[in-house]
Amino acid sequence: MTNVAEFRDRSQDQLSDELAKLKKEQFNLRFQRASGQLENTARFRVVRHDIARILTLLQQKGLAPVTAASKPAEKSAKAPRKKTTATKAAAAAKPAKKPAKKAAKKSVNKAKTLRRKPI
């Protein structure tokens, strides 16, 4: 378990690096647990609490963790998808839906069962 005072002395980059390291360890611990190889189950709690400590300190300082996801990425605008000739042909080849005959049969059968006399 890491003391909060140790984290307070670190810079934002150091805290973000430590956060990334702890998240990787948490990920590996989850895999070990799923495969039945995890021996130190208490390590889960320690890692989770350390992650929370770092995130709390970053929030108190008014900083956000520096991660690959937080960096602005240049995304290209996607054009709306147009129907291709293959999908148009497939849509045209589908037969039109026939009216449901089963519903009419069910209502007739229901009426017959209601008219029957009890024994």
pLDDT of residue 32: 93
- DSSP-assigned letter for residue 51: H
The per-residue pLDDT for range 66-104, each reduced to its tens digit, is: 655 555 555 556 666 666 666 666 666 666 666 666 555
Fold for 4-60, please state it.
Helix Hairpins (1.10.287)
What pLDDT does residue 6 have? 85
Q: What is the dihedral of CA 61, 7, 19, 73, to 10 degrees?
A: 30
Do 4 and 53 meet the contact criterion of CB atoms below 8 Å apart? yes
Residue 33, both tokens: 């647990």
Higher pLDDT, 26 or 9: 26
Residue 1: count of CB within 10 angstroms of its CB? 9
pLDDT given at position 52: 94
| pLDDT for position 9 | 87
Residue 112 has pLDDT above 90, yes or no: no
Give 2's contacts (C-beta < 8 A, 6+ positions apart): 50, 53
Write down the number of H helices and E strands in the chain.
Answer: 5, 0
**pLDDT above 80: residue 7:** yes
Side-chain half-sphere of 23: how many Cα atoms within 13 Å?
A: 11
Please report, for the chain, the start and end positions of each structural domain, with discontinuous segments joined by +. Answer: 4-60
Q: What is the DSSP string of 60-119?
A: HTT-----TTTS----PPPPPPPPPHHHHHHHHHSPPPPPPSHHHHHHHHHHHHHHSPP-
**Model pLDDT for residues 20-69, shown as the tens digit of each residue:** 999 999 999 999 999 999 899 999 999 999 999 999 999 988 877 665 55
Question: Is 2 or 74 the better-scoring residue by pLDDT?
Answer: 2
Is this model's pTM higher than 0.95 or not? no
